[in-house]
Structure 1
Amino acid sequence: MHGDILRETMEALRTNGFKAYSAPDAAGARELILCELLPDIAPRVVSFGDSMTLAATGVLDALRTDPAIEFIETFGKGVDRPEIIRRRKRALTADLFLTGTNAVTRTGKLVNLDMVGNRVGGIVFGPEHVILTVGVNKIVDHEEAARRRVREIAAPRNAARHHAKTPCAKTGRCMDCNSPERICNVWTITEKSWPKGRIKVILINQNLGL
């Protein structure tokens, strides 16, 4: 469906030091992670950052029930905020960190916007290995388009999804607010993977996530 765009983006990511893969759909990404990447990495401690695309693959449920893996939960009903923050800090020391990205450019750069910074923190530093699951709808032409996509699509919808009391959750568009529950606080642009191959990006030929 988007073969040329996927190939172009994969080549650009590889040029920038990322390991890049493709999958036909969420189920294919799950198989790639569990059957190919996970045995090669052989992680003992695994954690994750919030990602609807990652959740759609079903990988997290498989990892939670793997007796060989210590899985650090970074969300949890009935768990107080200080404990959640403690877990998220510990997640930065995991062998493997999984999440998604808000956008990836066709020139092979990752663009993200975070509230707390634990998701982007895990991408840029800490865990020895990072796996990102990315729907084809996240691919954009350049950084400006990536920022626009995050502001106009991802951020307002994520604010609403998390029931944040922000203007964008009501209007559906960025209001550049000063709300105490603002989710747009930390921008990161990852131009290269360092060390080379640390970040593994799976481009999925399916519209997934926000």
Structure 2
Amino acid sequence: MENWQDHFWKLRLHQCKDALEKNNFEVHLVDTAEAARAVFFETIRPAVPFTTASWADSMSLHATGILEELKRQPEVELIETFAPGIPRETLIERRRQALLVDLFLTGSNAVTESGQLVNLDMVGNRVGALTFGPRTVVLVIGRNKLVKDVAEGMQRIRNYAAPLNAIRHSGWKTPCRKTSFCHDCRSPDRICNTWTITEKSYPKQRIKIILVNQDLGL
């Protein structure tokens, strides 16, 4: 018999999938991170020709193993924007270049029941690519990112996801690292700088979403 908790979330995710598709997103619903990887390589990739790709920081994306497999494919030119030991100025320039790739991969901070994406960025490369630039964007979103509406999504990000993200980066000096609460700070390391609310995918199905019936990321 199906796990009752998984069944609960599957019902919620099916409703979210329908809402997202009405908003012109392409949506795939899977049970696990491993299944998300399979959907990407077996369904999305054959339908989306690309020779260049890049990605933004996303624990959900990393959980699927998609990036590791892409790195083993020499026909794909990957723009690495998180390489250790590389000067920050170089990484920022690479992130600018990544806005013109064929394929961009990342996650989302929140997705609403009515099919909107809610995101908050430090640098802006993730939300920039989500909004315009790369020909195709693929998002991996776990069930824990589902919220009632934009207001709840913003609350979740500001007081949960953002402080956790600051805490996991030991080099940053923000008040939320010490308290776990948002202080609307003025720290030079502030990670909450640019909000985006994506109401619909334009062009239609440019943004492709893999909804996963697992808790993934922050």
Q: TM-score surpassing 0.5?
A: yes
Q: Secondary structure at the match of 1:43?
A: coil
Report the Cα distance in structure 2 between the residues aligned to 1:37 and 1:20, rounded to whole angstroms. 10
Sequence identity (%)? 51
Counterparts of 1:126-205 in structure 2, within 5 Å, are 126-163=133-170, 164-205=172-213
Q: Give the counterpart letter for 1:176 in structure 2.
A: D
Deviations 1:152-197 (A, max 9, x none): 1100000111221100011111111110100000000000100000
Structure 1 residue runs without a partner (length 5+): none
Structure 1, 36-45 or 138-147: larger mean CA deviation: 36-45
Between the aligned partners of 2:88 and 2:186, the Cα distance in structure 1 is 22
Q: How does 1:5-16 map to 2 (within 5 A)?
A: 5-16=12-23
Deviates more, 1:92-101 or 1:62-71: 62-71
Provide the TM-score with structure 1 as the length reference. Answer: 0.99
1:73-114 CA distance string (max 9 Å, x none): 010111001110111001100000000000000000000000
AA matched with 2:88: R
CA deviation after TM superposition for structure 1 residue 143, in Å? 0.5
In the alignment, does 2:24 pair up with 1:17? yes
State the shift of 1:11 in Å: 0.4
2:115 aligned residue: 108
- Structure 1 stretches of at least 4 aligned residues deviating more than 2 Å after TM superposition: none
Are 1:122 and 2:129 an aligned pair?
Answer: yes
CA distance in 1, matches of 2:46, 2:111: 26
1:42 Cα deviation from its structure 2 partner: 2.1
In the aligned structure 2, how far is the partner of 1:37 from the partner of 1:25? 16
Q: Determine the C-alpha separation between the residues in 2 that align with 1:139 and 1:160.
A: 22
Which amino acid is the alignment partner of residue 194 of structure 1? Y
- Once residues 207 and 158 of structure 1 are traced to their aligned partners in structure 2, the CA distance between those partners, rounded to angstroms, is 16
Partners of 1:156 and 1:149 in 2: how far apart? 10
CA distance, structure 1, for counterparts of residue 177 and residue 72 of structure 2: 35
Aligned residue identity for 1:142: D
Backbone CA RMSD of aligned residues: 0.6
Secondary structure class of the residue paired with 2:185? coil
CA-to-partner distance for each residue in 1:123-160, whole Å, 9 max, x for gaps? 11000000000000000000110001001110000011
| 1:37-76 matches, cutoff 5 A | 37-76=44-83
Q: Secondary structure at the match of 1:148?
A: helix
Measured against aligned partners, the alpha-carbon deviations of 1:1-59 in whole angstroms (never above 9, x if no partner) come to 11111111000000001001111010000110112111211210010011000000010
Q: What are the ranges of 5 or more consecutive residues in structure 2 without an aligned counterpart?
A: 1-5
Q: Distance in 2 between matches of 1:65 and 1:42?
A: 17
The DSSP-based 3-state class of the residue aligned with 1:111 is: strand
Amino acid at match of 1:126: G
